[in-house]
Structure 1
Amino acid sequence: MVTSSKKLTPPATIVAAFFGFLVSTVSALASAGFLLGARQELATALRASDLRMTEEQVEQATTVAQAIAIGVALVIALFYLWLSFKLKAGRNWARVVLTVVTLLQVASLFTTQGETMWGYLSCAVAVVALVLSYLPASNEYITAVKHTR
């Protein structure tokens, strides 16, 4: 790790973890984007429910459901990206939060049905990035950053 006047350069393991979390985020967003293509399936499910909705209400509910799901996915992605940048800056708390989020992501694979290839890809990349963030070079960098503050 190279130092230049108080600013430490992240090791390759942290940089690779950072890019891994970026790829995981983009992959998760792509998966969420497929929700836009599932409009008919969502509308069909609403029609089949016991909610007794008019066709206009089904269309409105479908639009609202898609908008909420996409909005939530974007907020989560922004949070994930922010944590990734904090990890690259050497913040241990960001690594801990990314650990929890990644473990929740792994757990969701076992508890949800209909997970897409993008969801599995996103999770696999996040797990690899997480492992990289705990390798010895990463630990040394995070410790060194902590001592320079």
Structure 2
Amino acid sequence: MTTTPPEPDQPFGAGQPPYPGEQQPAAPYGAYPTSPGGQPPQRQAPPAQPSSIALAVKLMYAGAVLSVLSLIYSFTTLGSLKDDIRAELLKNDTTVSQSTIDAAYAVTITIAVVFGLIGALLWVWMAWKNGQGRSWARVVATVLGAFNLIGLLFTAAGSNSETVTVISSVISVVLAVVILVLLWKKESSDFYSAAEASRRMY
């Protein structure tokens, strides 16, 4: 086999085939990896939600609505709440001042509003992240469901708990239990695994 000599103005070895075993230059740093066909890998679309996840997400939004309704209802009982606070403070101290009663009333209202809004936002956040197939969100939803059950036990044990409050807590716990059953079904677990694999592709 003969080889063509290089032109006078070309360096020695130019135009010659590589020696056996000689490696080609590596791709420049930062180049996209290619598939066997030489094309960059295609970005995979996120997997579709199974019926169990879709229903769980809807129920989570229903839980958020329930939290907002409970908060609105609490505002309709502000008058009796202030009377209850006054009676409780006077029971412990008959010389309590009106300013102390007003301060305790304001703190109680603030706590109720903050916790009501946080509860609604947690429902929405869990619906969003579990709908995306985030495995950690399913674990967080499970922990929050356990806290919800504990809250119901404390509410039911309270002697001053109103019937509406107890019913709202029971509905919230039932929602949480149904949602967790849906989130831990096999088709839901497959969805979380597929979603995580899809995110690792890019």
Q: What range describes the TM-score normalised by the shorter chain of this pair?
A: 0.7 to 0.9
Matched with 2:183 is 133
Matched with 1:16 is 55
- Return the index of the structure with the highest Cα Rg: 2
Matched with 1:85 is 128
**Which structure has greater helix proportion?**
1
Give the drift of 1:32: 3.6
Give the drift of 1:73: 2.2
- Residues 77-129 of structure 1: CA deviation (Å, up to 9, x unaligned): 21332122100110010010000100111122223322521111111111111
5 Å-filtered alignment, 1:8-87, equals 8-36=47-75, 37-38=77-78, 39=81, 40-50=83-93, 52-87=95-130
CA contact (8 A) 1:33 1:70 kept: no
Pairwise CA RMSD: 2.2
Task: Flag structure 2 segments of 5+ consecutive residues without an equivalent.
Answer: 1-42
Bigger Cα displacement from structure 2, 134-143 vs 85-94:
134-143
Q: Percent identity?
A: 26
TM-score (norm 2): 0.64
TM-score (norm 1): 0.84
Matched with 1:94 is 137
Bigger relative CO (Cα 8 Å, ≥ 6 apart) = 1
CA distance in 2, matches of 1:31, 1:63: 18
Matched with 1:103 is 146
Indicate yes or no: 2:55 matched with 1:6: no
Match for 1:145: what amino acid? A
